[in-house]
Chains A and B, each alone.
Chain A
Amino acid sequence: MEFIESVTITPFVMIAQDFPVFFGEVVFNGVLTGVLYSLVALGFVLIFKASGVFNFAQGAMVLFAALTLVGLMELGLPVWLAFILTMGAMVALAYAVELLVLRHLVNQPDIILFMSTIGLTFFLEGFGETLWGSNVKKLDIGIPDTPVEITGMLFNSFDLIAALACALLVTGLAFFFQYTPTGRALRAVADDHQAALAVGIPLKKIWIIVWSVAGIVALVAGIVWGAKSGVQFSLSLIALKALPVLILGGFTSVPGAIVGGLIIGVGEKIAEVYWGPAVGGAIENWFAYVLALAFLFVRPQGLFGERIIERV
């Protein structure tokens, strides 16, 4: 009885008490985390749309990008140069993946491609740490980290700038997809590989482009997460946080990744703060999955995913 009360009544009473200031802070913190989840999920969606590959290595790419950036900065390079070089490294990685892995696995079942990206995950983690070492590194890119007060709520200036940067990146990508010729080609490939080939879109080039873009998205995500909590192995685990976002939003939808990320981010924070104490805390790990699962029962293709039509 006590437990039922602590789950069904107490949290709402607490929310009412905390309204609006503390509750607002919780929600906003959720939004910030959500934007970061969206970024990682976006990398997944880009690759899945263009090549049908469920790229598990996205998390490892985040780690690899952040490690490379920090490593280059430790060599004494300025931030902007290190950033550009890391971007170059991610593009090179995209070429290598296409040349060495994807090209040889065309027409294999989805699960084989999925497995190969798990292999890639192991490789990237090992490679990054062999190159740059495995101790926790601090990433300081010179964004001020001071508390800011807006209408009574306390925020962190770093979080605000990060959220803004992510929002800009996401909008930029949306424009890129909608209005440039390359973006149009990408959408064509996503719709139908064979039809895209028939009208003369070079599939291999498209794959390199999406893997590069996903690499750059991973770099941005790596910078933001790395600056918050240090660059270390656990960075590659945020891929696991992005998966519920993915099923919530739909594997094939860019807006879905964004909205899904926000829902998961906010839901997770609220659940942890208000419902966490009743069930023993640390529910962040699985809450997102259960939330996404609940959504799936209603819409099996996710919020914005393409309707699954099955024929015999």
Chain B
Amino acid sequence: MLYRETGQFKTTYAADQAIFPIFQDRVFIFALIAFAYLAIPALASEYMLQAVLIPMMIFSIAAVGLNILTGYAGQLSLGTGAFMAMGAYSAYKLTTGFPELNIIVVFILSGVATALVGIVFGLPSLRIKGFYLAVATLAAQFFLVWMFNRVPWWYNYHSSGTITAPPREFAGIMMTGPTATVETRYLIVLSFCIVAGLLAKNLVRSRIGRHWMAIRDMDIAAEIIGIRLLPNKLLAFAISSFYCGVAGALLLFSYLGSAETEAFDIFVSFDVLFMIIIGGLGSILGAYLGAAFIWLLPIFLTNAPQLVGLSMPVDFQKHLEVMIFGSLIIVFLIFEPAGLARLWQIGKEKLRRWPFPY
């Protein structure tokens, strides 16, 4: 009833190309952004911000990055964790090497550094495909993590091998480090999250995005119609790694505070892959929905027994959690292989006709 597009005429090409062509969608998204900026920092508890929202949004940035590479360009990658590590470590090196450098610039530069590394590890994609490529990207995962562990230069010869986010301020407000408030860090991450989504959405609707989708659907056919594989595949790797690098830097500076390489191991790569598959391959919205689902599910599973007043031994509960997580993934794949983005779309279709289906 409320969600009808009747009477909304488009009179310009720009209106026709809008990301949200339907008026109600625009209202909804602006309301959501306003709510996220104004209401959440004031209302949400510190636990909610620190343990739920901040990491969820950081991972959604990484998921957008992986979705560009896997969902749009069709290159399966299991190296996300390592690229995030690259972002975190290069941000650490940059900000300790040049303390005056603006912290936002540091985040972006660390993304650029990760993009360069991503290009190097994307080179095999020109010769190998599918699962062979997935295993090849594992080489990046293991090699980079090994390097950050073994080359002391990366952690400034610190005896414990840990990297810690130093305090940095911007416009008089403490942005990172132990004294930065959780609200500030939340707002930084939120801004990055929104900008990342907007850029990605426009990118995949552009010429480049269409090239990627052609390559995903069949790279030989794409080559024949005149799409050059080398620059396009490497560009996908570079942009995807850029997103992962920024996400890694944010993970260190805005969420963890201090980290070792364990924070970026192979299971992070799997988690991000889960996010884009559950969310929907080849959908920017899906990356956000998937990140929310995969991050919230374990938190829900951990807290569910207490909510219903059940108590059980800690390690038993831990195992049960892993078990339920695994089976839910399978159940989800069986019932909706196209992901949450598809469910969202179906829901919207239903809503348009509600309450008078005709």
Closest Cβ of chain A: how far from B73's Cβ, in Å? 13
Report if A153 contacts B (CB, 8 A).
Answer: no
Are A293 and B139 closer than 8 Å at their CB atoms?
A: yes
Looking across the interface, which residue of chain A has its beta carbon closest to that of B121? A293
What chain B residues lie within 8 Å of A297 (beta carbons)?
Answer: 124, 127
What chain B residues lie within 8 Å of A282 (beta carbons)?
Answer: 146, 149-150
Report if B244 contacts A (CB, 8 A).
Answer: no
Looking across the interface, which residue of chain A has its beta carbon closest to that of B321? A126
Looking across the interface, which residue of chain B has its beta carbon closest to that of A133? B315
What chain B residues lie within 8 Å of A124 (beta carbons)?
Answer: 326
A-B contact pairs, 6 of them (CB 8 A): A111-B281, A115-B273, A118-B273, A243-B138, A251-B132, A293-B139
Looking across the interface, which residue of chain B has its beta carbon closest to that of A289? B139
Residues 124 to 166 of chain B near chain A (Cβ within 8 Å): 124, 127-132, 135-136, 138-139, 142-143, 146, 149-151
Binds B, one of A9-17, A102-110, A162-170, A192-200: A102-110
Closest Cβ of chain B: how far from A307's Cβ, in Å? 13
Residues 270 to 298 of chain A near chain B (Cβ within 8 Å): 279-283, 285-286, 289-290, 292-293, 296-297
Are A296 and B128 closer than 8 Å at their CB atoms?
A: yes
Report if B224 contacts A (CB, 8 A).
Answer: yes
- On A, residues with C-beta under 8 Å from B are 54, 100-101, 104-105, 108-112, 114-116, 118-127, 129-130, 134, 240, 243-244, 246-247, 251, 279-283, 285-286, 289-290, 292-293, 296-297, 300-302, 308, 310-312
What chain A residues lie within 8 Å of B51 (beta carbons)?
Answer: none
Are B326 and A126 closer than 8 Å at their CB atoms?
A: yes
Are A290 and B277 closer than 8 Å at their CB atoms?
A: no
Task: Annotate B313-335 by CB proximity to A: 1 below 8 A, 0 otherwise.
Answer: 00110011111111111100110
The 10 nearest A-B residue pairs measured at CB: A122-B326, A126-B323, A123-B326, A119-B329, A126-B322, A289-B139, A286-B142, A280-B150, A119-B330, A130-B319
Closest Cβ of chain A: how far from B13's Cβ, in Å? 34
- Taken together as a complex, chains A and B put the C-alpha atoms of A300 and B219 apart, in Å, by 16
Given contacts A104-B334, A280-B151, A312-B220, whether A247 and B136 have CB atoms under 8 Å apart is yes
What chain B residues lie within 8 Å of A130 (beta carbons)?
Answer: 316, 319-320, 323
Grouping DSSP codes into helix (H, G, I), strand (E, B) and loop, the B interface class, with mixed when no group exceeds half, is helix
- Taken together as a complex, chains A and B put the C-alpha atoms of A125 and B267 apart, in Å, by 14
- Taken together as a complex, chains A and B put the C-alpha atoms of A297 and B128 apart, in Å, by 8
Given contacts A118-B329, A119-B327, whether A289 and B135 have CB atoms under 8 Å apart is yes
Closest Cβ of chain A: how far from B200's Cβ, in Å? 20
Closest Cβ of chain A: how far from B52's Cβ, in Å? 21
Report if B337 contacts A (CB, 8 A).
Answer: yes
- Taken together as a complex, chains A and B put the C-alpha atoms of A34 and B220 apart, in Å, by 37
Report if B208 contacts A (CB, 8 A).
Answer: no
Are B132 and A296 closer than 8 Å at their CB atoms?
A: yes
What chain B residues lie within 8 Å of A111 (beta carbons)?
Answer: 70, 76, 277, 281
- Taken together as a complex, chains A and B put the C-alpha atoms of A111 and B216 apart, in Å, by 13
Are A247 and B132 closer than 8 Å at their CB atoms?
A: yes
Are A123 and B319 closer than 8 Å at their CB atoms?
A: no
Given contacts A105-B334, A251-B131, whether A293 and B124 have CB atoms under 8 Å apart is yes
Looking across the interface, which residue of chain B has its beta carbon closest to that of A56? B270
What chain B residues lie within 8 Å of A293 (beta carbons)?
Answer: 124, 136, 139
Grouping DSSP codes into helix (H, G, I), strand (E, B) and loop, the A interface class, with mixed when no group exceeds half, is helix
Are B274 and A115 closer than 8 Å at their CB atoms?
A: yes
Are B135 and A122 closer than 8 Å at their CB atoms?
A: no
Report if B296 contacts A (CB, 8 A).
Answer: no
Given contacts A118-B270, A243-B135, whether A300 and B320 have CB atoms under 8 Å apart is no
- Taken together as a complex, chains A and B put the C-alpha atoms of A289 and B329 apart, in Å, by 28
Looking across the interface, which residue of chain B has its beta carbon closest to that of A113? B333
Are A54 and B330 closer than 8 Å at their CB atoms?
A: no
User: Looking at B139, B273, B320, B324, which has the most chain A CB atoms within 10 Å of its CB?
Assistant: B139
Please pick, from B146, B151, B274, the residue contacting A286 in the complex, using a CB distance under 8 A.
B146
- Taken together as a complex, chains A and B put the C-alpha atoms of A243 and B135 apart, in Å, by 7
- Taken together as a complex, chains A and B put the C-alpha atoms of A296 and B130 apart, in Å, by 13
Report if B266 contacts A (CB, 8 A).
Answer: yes
Report if B221 contacts A (CB, 8 A).
Answer: yes
Report if B218 contacts A (CB, 8 A).
Answer: yes
Closest Cβ of chain B: how far from A236's Cβ, in Å? 11
What chain A residues lie within 8 Å of B328 (beta carbons)?
Answer: 119
What chain A residues lie within 8 Å of B323 (beta carbons)?
Answer: 122-123, 126-127, 130
Are A240 and B325 closer than 8 Å at their CB atoms?
A: no
Looking across the interface, which residue of chain B has its beta carbon closest to that of A109? B337
Looking across the interface, which residue of chain B has its beta carbon closest to that of A298? B127
Given contacts A247-B132, A251-B131, whether A119 and B333 have CB atoms under 8 Å apart is yes
Please pick, from B132, B266, B333, the residue contacting A105 in the complex, using a CB distance under 8 A.
B333
Are A290 and B143 closer than 8 Å at their CB atoms?
A: yes
What chain A residues lie within 8 Å of B142 (beta carbons)?
Answer: 285-286, 289
- Taken together as a complex, chains A and B put the C-alpha atoms of A282 and B322 apart, in Å, by 30
Given contacts A247-B135, A289-B142, A293-B124, whether A281 and B327 have CB atoms under 8 Å apart is no
- Taken together as a complex, chains A and B put the C-alpha atoms of A293 and B128 apart, in Å, by 10
- Taken together as a complex, chains A and B put the C-alpha atoms of A100 and B330 apart, in Å, by 9
- Taken together as a complex, chains A and B put the C-alpha atoms of A275 and B329 apart, in Å, by 42
Closest Cβ of chain A: how far from B64's Cβ, in Å? 18
What chain B residues lie within 8 Å of A127 (beta carbons)?
Answer: 319, 323
Looking across the interface, which residue of chain A has its beta carbon closest to that of B70? A111
Are B128 and A300 closer than 8 Å at their CB atoms?
A: yes
Closest Cβ of chain A: how far from B128's Cβ, in Å? 5
Given contacts A110-B130, A121-B326, A300-B128, whether A286 and B139 have CB atoms under 8 Å apart is yes
